[in-house]
Amino acid sequence: MDDPVNQNSRNRQRRGEKPAEGGEYIRLRLPKRQNKEMFAIAEQLMGGSRINAVCDDGKSRMARIPGKMKRRARVRAGDLLIIKPWDIQNEKADIVYRYNRTQANTLSRRKLLPEEINVF
């Protein structure tokens, strides 16, 4: 029989998960670059479930908080987000995921955040 640790490692590789720099796996959701997702920092609440966000490419975008997230997770100024810019209007985006403070600090410690938005 296989060792359970090796089996878990093979399952992670099959799913496409990659180890962090230290060789250990990270269980936090990261932006899927092939889907055009990116990190952003929530800058200012605009009202009407909209927020102004500064993205890791240096642009400021108006991001929409979807109803599913609005009911579950409160997005505040200074939060680390994953957003997906719209195909039609590049200055607008949808929020995909919100990190809590502990998760953002973990990403910063492991140097997975771009320098433009690393305020943690």
Q: Where are the domains of the chain?
A: 1-28, 31-120
What is the rounded distance in angstroms from the CA atom of residue 56 to the CA atom of residue 83?
Answer: 10
pLDDT value for 34: 94
pLDDT value for 71: 83
Element holding 81 (H helix, E strand): strand 80-85
With respect to CATH, is domain 31-120 assigned 2.40.50.140? Answer: yes
pTM of the predicted protein model = 0.76
Q: Pairing mode, if any, of strands 38-45 and 92-98?
A: unpaired
Q: Which of 62, 65, 46, 64 is nearest to 54 (CA)?
A: 62
Q: Is residue 84 a contact partner of residue 37, using CB atoms and an 8 Å limit? A: yes
**Residue-wise pLDDT tens for the chain (120 aa)?**
555 555 556 655 555 555 655 566 668 899 999 999 999 999 999 988 999 999 999 999 999 999 888 888 889 999 999 999 999 999 999 999 999 999 999 999 999 999 888 887
What is the rounded distance in angstroms from the CA atom of residue 78 to the CA atom of residue 113?
Answer: 15
pLDDT value for 2: 54
pLDDT value for 99: 94
pLDDT value for 51: 95
pLDDT value for 23: 63
Rounded to 5 degrees, φ, ψ at 33 are -65, -30
pLDDT value for 61: 95
What is the rounded distance in angstroms from the CA atom of residue 48 to the CA atom of residue 25?
Answer: 38
